[in-house]
Amino acid sequence: MERVTLVPHTHWDREWYAPFAEFRPRLVAMMDALLELADRGFPHFHLDGQTAMIDDYLAVRPEREPELRRHVRAGRLSAGPWVTQMDAFLVSGESHIRNLEMGLARARELGRALEVGYLPDQFGHIGQMPQILRSAGIEHAVVWRGVPRTVDRDVFRWEAPDGSEVLAEYLAFGYFNGEAYRRAEDPRELARRIEETLGRQRPFRASDRILVMVGSDHAGPDPSLPQRVAAAASHLEGVEVRIGGLEDHLGGRRLRGPVPTHRGELRSSARANLLTGVASARANQKRERARVEALLERAAEPLAALVPGFPWPEERLREAWTLLLWNGAHDSACGCSHDRVARDVAARFAAARAIAEAVVDEALTTLGARVAAAGTIRFNPSPFERDGVPGLGWRVVAGGAEPAELPLSVGIEDGWVRAAGLAFALRDEPDQGDLYTFCPGGEARPPERLETDGRTVRATWPGLEVRLRLRRLRGEPFLRLEGAVRNERPDHRLRLHLRLPERAEGSLAGSPFELVRRPLLGEGGVEPPSPLWPARGVVAAGGLAALAEGVVEYEVTGGELAITLLRCVGTISRERLETRPYAAGPDVPTPEAQMLGTWPLALGAMRAGSPSALLAAWERFALPLLEAPATGGGSLPAAGTLLELEGEACLSAVRRVGGELEVRVWNPLDRPARARVEGLELDLGPARIQSVALGRARARPA
């Protein structure tokens, strides 16, 4: 007897081809109907693994919270484990942890949390997700996109780089593989459709059960489903069909034998679109997200947690994180949405930035009143000394200080700019794609005019100008390329090409809690093999590394490393492209995604070093020292450390949880590493993420 679990569900994007303000009334109507249906005994409805849609509903219908809680407790509605269904590669590792932490906490407040890592529509999955899930006690995941061809079963063991493992249910035919059941009113027709589903999935079958998701984007419950399934049962031989939730399906499931194991990230288009172009759509918002994340994670929270006498601003920080998590939802973070959505995303970033900046200013002002000497107090967010400021500490100076610029010779030869032993070029090409996918429309061309005055480089094409100031600062191992792009032309892609000292056969790229090694091409299938990848902060290939504040799209072409500076397209999705066989969404015009106007940019370039050296260089590049006036008159010395962190571990978070200090670090190496946090020795396995509870830290002299 085969058992089939039908999971009625919706996949609910808070915003996508329409803004949140238009989708929420539809959500309220759907949830109103769902609660009435649950009152009449509907067995289960899966709320997309996210609590945001529950809270969005309760913001309009607060009087229905007791009723909703009752159904969550009874298992008729699922809650969590996430706040939102975030994109995997376009947010920080800390964002993933807070998304899961806050989602589970809210779901438990509502009565019961779904403890399954439901990840139905992300455009690939980060390698460290199994470790993140296991750290929250979650042992199962459900995934669709990105699974490689080597996984030929609907269950596989998914390992993180540290060896953490979850058992993953593979939705080989998508999170909508039972959507057609909604249109089958005749019992025989429904039985036939169920048999068709089983026929497709049997070659993948790894257990005694088959999972069928009955729903789709922004769909509500089908009230007649239980009755129609019961009527269809007599037409199904050897098949038991149950309506339930993911936990019903996974609980007591038995594997039929060994299942495949996959280690690391999932970035294949073997059986589903991967949609790699989302890493470069609306590139300005990728940069701003990283800057706000860094401000919150590495400045506001550490200062609020560590400055003596500063009260922990729980509500304000929670509000900032909520805004970031809303902006992390995959259609929001990816930029593949309506222009009004992009404006809403920008507004939420501005609000989160304002909160974080206010906390930083207040905490630094408090610290500046506790030091003895007046002047300018400088805070170093890195765990190592920078510009005379101790790691995670302060120094009072007479006035603001700028690092000294080193002499630099800049020249142009054969269309390549040469400086500090590095060479780069700029190339622009037509793009016939959309917000999901790049599609070439002609040759990449060098600028019609390329010139330098010895410091600034200017490149021009018709309707396009790039100005870059090149700088080398004392104490920095990289060349800074800072400037702006003025764009007056649609439908094209602008990239910076770095000449590699040696031919590259792959790359090493930043990803949440990982430096991941990748080949030149991703695995193709539904889409052609793609050379495009996302890099978080750093990418190295062929003896050279590029630094960015946030996520950038890159390609390694043997002798060159290309970084996308700007991609300009005018629709959410086209029906068909040479680089994608079918639509990824609706063909909704997005004139603002043509990126007309002037856009700032900043990159770094350097000779590649060890993983630790690359990440330390990124800290210097992307995390500026912070300054505030110091009134003096306190008892602290002119320089000191708020938290001692030594060793090879990278810092992710310093915050207060329940009044106690928590520090999170991670090992970027593929070998064991040692670290010391406030005198506590840590032995970190390869790629291990470790959270440490420390009680209360104290400021100490340098």
Q: The domain that contains 688 carries what CATH number?
A: 2.30.18
Neighbour count for residue 17 (Cβ, 10 Å)? 20
E strand intervals along 208-365: 209-214, 239-243, 261-263
In a domain, 11, yes or no: yes
Nearest CA-CA partner of 625 in 405, 388, 404, 292: 388
Per-residue confidence (pLDDT) for residue 240, from 0 to 100: 95
| Cβ-contact 431, 492 below 8 angstroms | yes
CATH of residue 530? 2.70.98.30
Task: Determine whether 121 is an active site residue.
Answer: yes
Question: What single DSSP character describes residue 659?
Answer: T
Containing 647, the helix (H) or strand (E) segment is: strand 645-647
Residue 475 backbone zone (phi > 0: left; psi -120 to 50: alpha; other: beta): left
Q: Cα–Cα distance between 101 and 82 in angstroms, integer?
A: 8
**Token pair for 305:** 């947690």
Tokens 């571990």 found at: 649
Summarised one tens digit per residue, pLDDT across range 341-398 is 999 999 999 999 999 999 999 999 999 999 999 999 999 999 999 999 999 999 999 9
| Cβ-contact 357, 45 below 8 angstroms | no
Helix (H, G, I), strand (E, B) or coil at 196: helix
DSSP 505-563: SEEEEEETTEEEEEESS---SSS-----EEEEEEEEETTEEEEEEEEEEEEE-SSEEEE
Angle at 212 between CA 211 and CA 217, to 5 degrees: 130
Give the residue from 246, 272, 298 where a domain finishes: 272
| Same domain (yes/no): 607, 652 | no
Summarised one tens digit per residue, pLDDT across range 101-122 is 999 999 999 999 999 999 999 9
Neighbour count for residue 701 (Cβ, 10 Å)? 11
Per-residue confidence (pLDDT) for residue 203, from 0 to 100: 94
Catalytic residue among 13, 48, 56, 121: 121
Residue 62, class by beta-carbon neighbours within 10 Å (0-12 exposed, 13-18 middle, 19+ buried)? exposed
Give the residue from 621, 654, 679 where a domain finishes: 621
In a domain, 558, yes or no: yes
In a domain, 299, yes or no: no
Strands 449-452 and 533-541: unpaired
In a domain, 328, yes or no: no
Nearest CA-CA partner of 114 in 66, 77, 86, 169: 77
Helix (H, G, I), strand (E, B) or coil at 110: coil
| Same domain (yes/no): 496, 580 | yes
| Same domain (yes/no): 651, 558 | no
Q: Cα–Cα distance between 39 and 62 in angstroms, integer?
A: 18
**Token pair for 508:** 């090493």
> What are the distances in angstroms from CA 598 to CA 467, 509, 595, 601, 647?
11, 28, 8, 10, 42
In a domain, 17, yes or no: yes
Per-residue confidence (pLDDT) for residue 399, from 0 to 100: 76
**Token pair for 269:** 């288009």
Q: Cα–Cα distance between 206 and 651 in angstroms, integer?
A: 40
Question: Sign of torsion, CA 30 33 39 45?
Answer: negative
Q: Where are the alpha helices (DSSP H) in 264-338?
A: 283-295, 301-306, 314-328, 330-333
Question: Sign of torsion, CA 137 9 96 531?
Answer: positive
In a domain, 656, yes or no: yes
| Cβ-contact 146, 124 below 8 angstroms | yes
Beta bridge partners of 320: none
| Same domain (yes/no): 493, 561 | yes
**Could you list the residue range(s) of the whole structural domain that residue 449 is in?**
410-621
Nearest CA-CA partner of 377 in 702, 619, 638: 638
| Same domain (yes/no): 662, 534 | no
Tokens 């003096």 found at: 632
Strands 261-263 and 155-159: parallel
Per-residue confidence (pLDDT) for residue 403, from 0 to 100: 77
Containing 119, the helix (H) or strand (E) segment is: strand 117-119
The set of residues, in sequence order, having a beta carbon less than 8 Å from that of 651 and lying 6+ positions away, is 298, 382, 383, 392, 645, 663, 664, 665
Q: How many residues does the chain have?
A: 702
Give how many domains the chain has, as a whole number: 3
Q: Where are the alpha helices (DSSP H) in 371-418?
A: none
Per-residue confidence (pLDDT) for residue 558, from 0 to 100: 78
| Same domain (yes/no): 657, 610 | no
Sheet holding 645-647, edge to edge: 645-647, 673-677, 680-684
| Same domain (yes/no): 75, 186 | yes
CA-based R_g, the chain, Å: 26
Low-confidence ranges of the chain (pLDDT < 70): 400-401, 696-699, 702
Per-residue confidence (pLDDT) for residue 695, from 0 to 100: 81
In a domain, 379, yes or no: no
Strands 464-471 and 456-461: antiparallel
| Same domain (yes/no): 15, 120 | yes
CATH of residue 264? 3.20.110.10
Per-residue confidence (pLDDT) for residue 531, from 0 to 100: 98
